[in-house]
Amino acid sequence: MKDSFNREIDYVRLSVTDRCDLRCTYCMPATGMCFLKKSEMLSFDEILFLLTNLADLGIKKVKITGGEPLTRPDTVALIKAIKTIKGIEKVTLTTNGIQLARYASALKEAKLDGINISIDTLDPDEFHEITRVGELKRVLAGLKKAIEVDLPNIKVNTVARGELTDEEICEIASLAKSDAIHVRFIELMPIGLGKGCPGKTQEEIMSILQTTYGELHPFDQQLGNGPASYFSLTGFKGKIGFISALGHCFCAECDRIRVTADGCLKTCLHMDDGCELKEALQTKNKELLFAQVLSAIQKKPEKHHFLESQGDSRLMSQIGG
């Protein structure tokens, strides 16, 4: 599928739930979240119908997101089933890691192609403060288990908050030293509760890392679906990556669409648009689904306008990160 800017669209980020077992301060309010009813969320069958048809339209890569996807009881079974869809080449998962120790072996068995684990700090108290309810030791146990069962392509994602100290940045980066896992710093995006939070730029983080670990050498190979730019550090088994949607806009290479947990197709994270696919999925109406997807893709914007306008008013957990 090509959009009107000649970009090949072959990647879908599919949110399977808007629920999460954490309450990160930049993502959700502490109380008063209004979650989707089970009947409003896409069912197992609707997801398979959607992805089978998206594969026919040229989608090859699927990222399972949330909320927190591992809070949905059938996520592993879903991954296993998606892996059998003709045309889908890669299925990856993004998780907060809280339940990962429990699911890592099953995910390996399901032949997951890669996993992103969010870790914003290695300080247990700070982790609890950011997530309001989370225990860092559970996430670290999940990461350890993922390494132990040899899940492929393990990445740690750290939101580049303004509060991160130089020591914390170096400590988090050092996760990529002894194990072949990649650590990525994600620029804070002005979405939902992330609006107004101070962040650190890629350049600031690079300079901190270079002072401690020496020169960062650009690494040109792709390490997954995403738009990260990667660097090698001498003595590190994994790479250091940066995803900087504002500072280093990657919209020109955008290959993605998103589907929310209730079946809304979004062609850009920032845009307050969206096309409701639920009816086509419920009625298994392939023609309607094709028409809706193809028409939405023609309207995909050339780039985000985070710096100029308000954009989508929903929270990150509701859009699917």
Q: Give the annotated binding-site residues.
A: 13, 20, 24, 26-27, 67, 94, 118, 155, 189, 251, 254, 256-258, 268
Of 87 and 301, the one with the shorter C-beta distance to ligand SF4 is 301
State the Cα–Cα distance between residues 257 and 37, nearest whole angstrom. 24
Q: Which of 171, 250, 288, 292 binds ligand SF4 (CB under 6 A)?
A: 250
Q: Token digits for 143?
A: 């990461």
Residues 144-183 that bind ligand SF4 (CB under 6 A): none
85, 117, 256, 263: which one binds ligand SF4 (CB under 6 A): 256
User: Please, which residue, 19 or 304, has the CB nearer to ligand SF4?
Assistant: 304
Question: Which one of 27-35, 74-82, 228-236, 250-258 is the stretch in contact with ligand SF4 (CB under 6 A)?
Answer: 250-258
Q: Side chain identity at 92, as an amino acid letter?
A: T
304 near ligand SF4 (CB under 6 A): yes
Binding span for ligand SF4 by CB under 6 A among 103-111, 216-224, 263-271, 277-285: 263-271
How many residues bind ligand SF4 (CB under 6 A)? The answer is: 10
Residue 303 interacts with ligand SF4 (CB under 6 A): yes or no = yes
Q: Which residues participate in the annotated binding site for S-adenosyl-L-methionine?
A: 26, 67, 118, 189
| Long-range contacts of 231-236, Cβ-Cβ distance < 8 Å, separation of 24 or more | 231/206, 233/173, 233/176, 233/177, 233/209, 235/177, 236/176, 236/177
User: 214 vs 83, 170, 232, CA distance in Å?
Assistant: 41, 12, 10
**Given the complex with ligand SF4, which of 76 and 254 has the nearer CB atom?**
254
**Which of 34-42, 197-205, 213-221, 266-274 is the region at the interface with ligand SF4 (rule: CB under 6 A)?**
266-274
User: How would DSSP label each residue in 232-279?
Assistant: E-TT-SS-EEEE-TTTT--GGG--EEEE-TTSEEESSTT-S--EE-HH
Largest CA distance in the chain: 58
Q: Is 278 in the site for ligand SF4 (CB under 6 A)?
A: no
Using an 8 Å Cβ cutoff, are 192 and 156 in contact? no
Pick the binder of ligand SF4 from 68, 270, 274, 320 (CB under 6 A).
270
- Compute the least distance from the CB of residue 194 to ligand SF4, in Å: 14
Work out the burial of residue 214: count CB atoms within 10 Å of its CB; fewer than 13 is exposed, 13-18 middle, 19 or more buried. exposed
Q: Which two tokens stand for residue 17?
A: 């739930």
C-alpha 36/C-alpha 56 separation (Å) is: 29
Q: Which residues bind ligand SF4 (CB under 6 A)?
A: 245, 250-251, 254, 256, 268-270, 303-304
